[in-house]
Amino acid sequence: MALQTGDAPTARRYAEALVARDPADLNANLILARAARDMGDIPPARTAARTAWQLADTDAERYSAALITAQILSTEGKRTRAQLWLRRAAQNAPNDLLRERAKRDFRYVKRRNPWKTDLTFTFAPNSNINNGSARDTSRLNYAISELLFGEPIEYELNDEAQAIAGIEIGGSVRTRYRFAQTPTTAHDAKLSLSYRTFSITDDLDDDGIKGSDFAFGSLAFGYGYRRLNLDRKGEFALDVEGGQTWYGGSRYASYLRSQAQQTWRTSAQRQFRFGGELERQWGQATPDLDTVGLSASITQGYASGNTGFFGLFATTTQSPNPGSEYTEVMLRTGIALRKPIVGAAVQFGLGASWRDYDFSRDSRDGRRDTRIFADVTATFKDIDYYGFNPTVTLSASSTDSNIGLYDVNRVGLNIGIKSAF
């Protein structure tokens, strides 16, 4: 009663007396933790909450102990740890009403947390881990072929140039710290790391090829700026990032990238997005490359509850190596279904791209690639563990090129997890 009326000192005195008489009194420890926290006396509040968690036997008891622990951590400013304890509270909630309260508190703490961290883990069977050709022969180096044989001829491709099936294993972490914020602006410092390697499942003639030959890693630091505009119907975003990549265990390229983006929500159901990108790449195992990209997209909600997406992307590059220069146009569309299918939230994606290289050493006519791709992702929301749902993504793509080496087919299955709140 004393806590309900805001009399934390009285509640604390009674709780301390009860704990002194019986240290295993769960309710007394919960009251002591709450009262000490309300008084701003964090160390005894933390101790009492820890004791309550150790004493908890039922879902309801674990829920109460996890919730007060999260509240104490949030008061201390340790909001990332508070979010972990709120996931514990949601996992142990004895009913849907209390579970929703834990989720609501989680979202509140998340909004106030200057740290935001995203973790991804990948375990993905893939029919083409090396971006190899779907063919076993291709016309190569037309100038030498014409010099030696009088015309371009087909060469047999080795194992490493052809598609190799395997399993991708990897993970990534992206974190940002919001070091300054106003009601309409935000400034973020960013860090990201990623790594993926492969286990080959094909039986290759060349025993010297290993999955780690195609391993790829990256490390990047960046800065992000956000500003609400257009009467809070839009947001301008600017991101600058510098990083280093590795391929096969060796340095691959350093890069500096800047991206600008403007969103505009014209209604509750429709949002436009416009963006531009500049990147400079300094290659260690690949040519230097400058990239310019533009994009425009629309996200539309429908009366059925489904959500659709359509995007147009254009890219052009410049390089000291003429064979690396290209222009590309890509279209992408997708739809997320409101109604679950067999208990899973499902979204579909479909797209196509056209890439044109004016110069190629393998063809006098340059190189032209047409790629189509599709994917479907299922999020199993009925399976919830500590606020995470399993996801499965099936993707497929096919590239048709005028040069056989670049005819590429790929089918992949990615298993992951996604936060439910």
Q: 77's torsion region: left (phi>0), alpha (psi -120 to 50) or beta? A: left
Look at residue 208 in the predicted model and tell me its pLDDT.
82
What is residue 148's predicted lDDT score, i.e. its pLDDT? 74
Domain end among 89, 112, 135? 112
Residue 119 has pLDDT above 60, yes or no: yes
- The answer for residues whose C-beta is within 8 angstroms of residue 194's C-beta and 6 or more apart is 170, 171, 172, 173, 216, 217, 218
Q: How confident is the model at residue 205 (pLDDT cuts 50, 70, 90)?
A: low
Q: Specify if 1 maps to a domain.
A: no
Q: Is residue 412 a contact partner of residue 125, using CB atoms and an 8 Å limit?
A: yes
Res 109: pLDDT: 96
Same domain? For 76 and 170 the reply is no
**Interaxial angle between packed helices 59-76 and 96-112, expressed in degrees from 0 to 180 and rounded to the nearest 10:** 10
| SS3 call for 51 | helix
Neighbours of 236 (CB within 10 A): 15
Q: Which comes out higher in pLDDT, residue 269 or 160?
A: 269
pLDDT at 144: 77
Q: Tell me which of 264 and 160 has the higher pLDDT.
A: 264
Same domain (yes/no): 204, 255: yes
Q: What is the pLDDT of residues 348-395, one digit of tens each?
A: 999 999 999 999 999 999 999 999 999 999 999 989 999 999 999 999
Token match 């749902």: residue?
A: 389
Tokens of 285: 């195992």
The CATH number given to whatever domain includes residue 130 is 2.40.160.40
CA distance 388 to 94: 18
Q: Are residues 195 and 220 in the same domain?
A: yes
Give me 246's structure tokens.
Answer: 């590795």
For the chain, the domain total comes to 2
Q: Give dist(CA 208, CA 297) in Å, integer.
A: 45
> For the residues 254-280, what does the mean pLDDT come to?
98
pLDDT for 358: 96
- Residues spanned by the domain of 77: 8-112
- Counting Cα atoms < 13 Å in the Cβ hemisphere of 412 gives 28
Please, are residues 392 and 363 in contact by the beta-carbon 8 Å criterion?
no
Distance CA 189, CA 199 (A): 35
Shared-domain flag, residues 322 and 387 = yes
pLDDT surpassing 60 at residue 72:
yes
- My answer on whether 168 and 89 are in the same domain is no
Give the CATH number, domain containing residue 91: 1.25.40.10
Say what the pTM is. 0.89
pLDDT at res. 153: 79
- DSSP code for 159: G
Claim to verify: residue 233 and residue 359 sit in the same structural domain: yes
148: its two tokens: 């030696």
